Amino acid sequence: MDADAARPTIRLTWIAAAFGCAATALAAGIGADARWLAAVGALIVRAGALPHSIPYAAAPSEWRDAPALGQLVFHGLESLLGDKGLVLAQTVAVAVALVALALDLRRANARDGLGATVLIAVVVAAPATFLVVRAQLFSLALFPVLVLLLRSEAQRPSRRIWLAVPLLALWANLHGGVLVGFGVATAYLVLHRARHAPIVAGMLFVACTGALLATPALLGTAHYYAGVLGGVAASARYGLWAPLSLHEPLDLIFIAVALPLLAAAVRRRPLAWEVALLAALVVMSAEARRNGIWFLMFAATPAACGLRRTAATRPLLSRRLALVCACVPALMLGLGLARQPDDAGPSDRILSRAVALAHRTPILAEPLAAEQLALDGQRIWIGNPLEAFAPSDQQLYLDWLQGKAAGDAILREPINVVLVRVGSPAQRRIAGAPAFRERARDANGVLYTRRG
C-alpha cells in the first residue's frame, strides 16, 4: 500500500474542510427560500398546530406541511440569533458535509493532497450552495452522511445499514431533498445489496419508503413531494430549476470542475450502483443546476482515488506549518460568525415604508423581500413556498418576476404596493406601468404604489 494512503489522518484534507467551513461563515448571505421557513415556524409555535395554507399570503393556498421540523429549526435560530442564526446553521451544515466527505476519502484511502484538492474543488464549483443560506442546507448536510454510510456498507456489510431508515425519516421532516437521498439508497439496495442479501434489501426498501412518509403530513407527504416536483417553477425550469447554460459564469465553473471529476471517477472503476448514480446525477445536473451539488459530493471520493498523482499533489506540510494553516480557517470562522450577514434585500426603511403605505392590504414583492415581510408578520400576495399555491397563480407570479407581459395580470389583483429589486425584470416592467409610480428606493429595492 502507498505510504501516503496508509496515513491514519488526512491532514491536508481536514485543513481543506476547515477552509470550506470558514469561507461559508465569512461570506454566506441569506437567500430566497430561507426566511419563509422561520415565518411558518413562528406560525406553528403560535397556533400550536400545522397550517393547512400559507397564512401570510392573500392568494389562495393549500399546504401539506411535511418539512415542519425544518421550519421550527429556522424559527428557533431566527428568533434567538436573527440572521446570524441562519448563517450559523449554514456553517454547521457545510461542516457536517465536508467532514462526511473527508471521512469517506479516508475510508477509501484517498491520497491526502488529492483529497484536499477535490474538497476545495467541490466548494469552488458550487458557491451558490455553500455561500447562500437556503432551505437546502439540511440536504447539504445529510446527503454526504448517507453516501458515507452506503459506501461503508458496500465495503463491509453490517447491521449499520438500518441507520439509513431513521436518517431518511429525519431528512423527510427537514427538506424535500430527501427524495434524492431515497433514490441513492434505492440504487444501492437494488443494484448491490440485493445481490448478496435480497431479503434484507427488500425489507430495507420498504422501511426507507415508509421513512419518506414519516412526517406530520403522513399520507399527505406524497402530495407535498408531488407539489415540489410538479410545481410550475420546476416545469418552467425557472431559477435553480433551470438547466446548465454556457452563458452563465457559475455554470461554466461547475462544468470545468465536474468534467474532470467525472473522468477521474470513471477511471477508478466504481461499483455498478455507483456507476448508475453517477450517470443519473450527471443527467439531473444538466437538467437543473440545483442538482449539481449532489453530483459533486457523490463523485468526490472516486474522483480523488482516480486522479493521477503528480509531484504537486504530494503532502509536503510539516506539522508546524500544518498547525499554522489550521489556525487561518479558525480565525476566518471566528470573524465570519461575528459579522452581520450580508442582506441583498431591501433595507428596513423601505420595508417599513411599504408596510405603512399598504394599509394592511397585501404587498406584491419579489421572493427575498416577500420573505422578509412575511417574517415580520406582514401580509404578502404570494411567495415561497410557491408550490402551495394554485398552478395558475404560480405561473402568473413567475411571469411577473420575469417581466413578461402575461405577468401584468397580477397587478389587477387588490394590490396597492409593489416591492421589487433594482434592475430586475419586474422592476423594469413596472417602471413603465402607468397605474403605478415610484415612491422610494435604496441600493437593493424600489417601492411602487398604485396611483390615486
Q: pLDDT digit string (tens) for 281-321? A: 999 999 999 999 999 999 999 999 998 654 344 444 555 55
Range of the domain at 78: 11-313
Same domain, 175 and 52: yes
Q: What is the DSSP letter of 380?
A: B
Of residues 179, 144, 110, 107, the one with CA closest to residue 20: 144
Q: pLDDT at residue 342 above 70?
A: no
Q: Of residues 301 and 227, which shows the higher confidence score?
A: 301
pLDDT of residue 311: 37
What pLDDT, on a 0 to 100 scale, did the predictor assign at position 228? 87
Task: Render pLDDT for 353-391 as a digit per residue (tens, 0 to 9).
Answer: 999 999 889 999 999 999 999 999 999 999 999 999 999
Residue pLDDT, tens place only, 228-249: 888 899 998 998 899 999 999 9
CA distance 418 to 426: 10
96 contacts 350 by C-beta, under 8 angstroms: no
| Average pLDDT over every residue of 129-154 | 96
Q: 35 — phi, psi (to 5°)? A: -70, -20
Query: Mean per-residue pLDDT for 203-216?
Result: 96
pLDDT band of residue 169 (cuts 50, 70, 90) is very high
Rounded Cα gap, residues 305 and 111, in angstroms = 7
Q: Strand pairing of 436-441 and 445-450?
A: antiparallel
Contact 378, 318 (CB under 8 A): no
Asked whether residue 128 falls in the same domain as residue 244, the answer is: yes
**291 & 359 share domain:** no
State yes or no: pLDDT of 79 exceeds 50. Answer: yes
**Same-domain status, 92 and 209:** yes
264 near 302, Cβ under 8 Å? yes
Question: Is residue 6, in this structure, part of any structural domain at all?
Answer: no
Average pLDDT over residues 398-421: 92
Residue 423 domain flag:
yes
- What per-residue confidence (pLDDT) applies to 413? 84
Residue linked to cell 463491509: 156
Least confident of 38-42, 270-274, 326-330, 350-354: 326-330
C-alpha 73/C-alpha 197 separation (Å) is 38
313, 330, 358: which is the final residue of a domain? 313
Largest alpha-carbon pair distance within the chain? 80
Q: Is residue 318 part of a domain?
A: no
CA distances from 451 to 58, 419, 421, 439 (A): 21, 15, 20, 10
Are both 162 and 23 inside the same structural domain? yes
Q: Residue 332 pLDDT > 80, yes or no?
A: no
* Cα distance between residue 290 and residue 177, in whole Å: 10
Q: Residue 343: inside a domain, yes or no?
A: no
| Residues 82-137: tens digit of each pLDDT | 989 999 999 999 999 999 999 999 999 998 889 999 999 999 999 999 999 999 99
Query: In the block, which residue shows the cell 441513492?
Result: 184
Over the chain, what is the mean pLDDT?
89
Q: What number of CA atoms fall less than 13 Å from residue 420's CA on the CB side? A: 23
Position 110: which residue type?
Answer: A
The closest of 97, 53, 33 to 294, measured between CA atoms, is 97
Q: Rounded CA gap, 163 and 155, in Å?
A: 16
- Do 381 and 303 share a structural domain? no
Q: Tell me the three cell numbers of residue 271.
A: 461499483
pLDDT tens column, 28-67: 889 889 999 999 999 999 999 999 999 999 999 999 999 9
336-359 mean pLDDT: 80
277 and 402 part of one domain? no
Q: Output DSSP code: residue 359.
A: T
Domain count of the fold of the chain = 2
Please check whether residues 308 and 391 belong to one and the same domain.
Answer: no
Q: Are residues 244 and 375 in the same domain?
A: no
336 is a domain residue: no
Say whether both 124 and 172 belong to one domain: yes
Contact 284, 234 (CB under 8 A): no
Please determine, for residue 338, whether its predicted confidence score (pLDDT) is greater than 90.
Answer: no
Residue type, 80: L
3-state helix, strand, coil in the chain (%, to 5): 65, 5, 30
Cis peptide before 385 (omega within 30 of 0): yes
- Please check whether residue 99 is in contact with residue 17, taking contact to mean a CB–CB distance below 8 angstroms: yes
Rounded Cα–Cα distance for residues 69 and 214 (Å): 12
**Alpha-carbon gap, residue 317 to 267, rounded angstroms:** 28
Specify if 342 maps to a domain.
Answer: no
Q: Which of these three, 270, 288, 313, is where a domain ends? A: 313
Instruction: Tally the residues of the chain.
Output: 452
End-to-end CA distance of the chain: 80
Same domain, 238 and 357: no
Cell, residue 84: 446570524
Q: Which of 313, 334, 367 is the last residue of a domain?
A: 313
Report yes or no on 378 lying in a domain.
Answer: yes
Residues 303 and 356 grouped into a single domain:
no
Quote the DSSP letter at residue 381. Answer: S
Domain contains 334: no
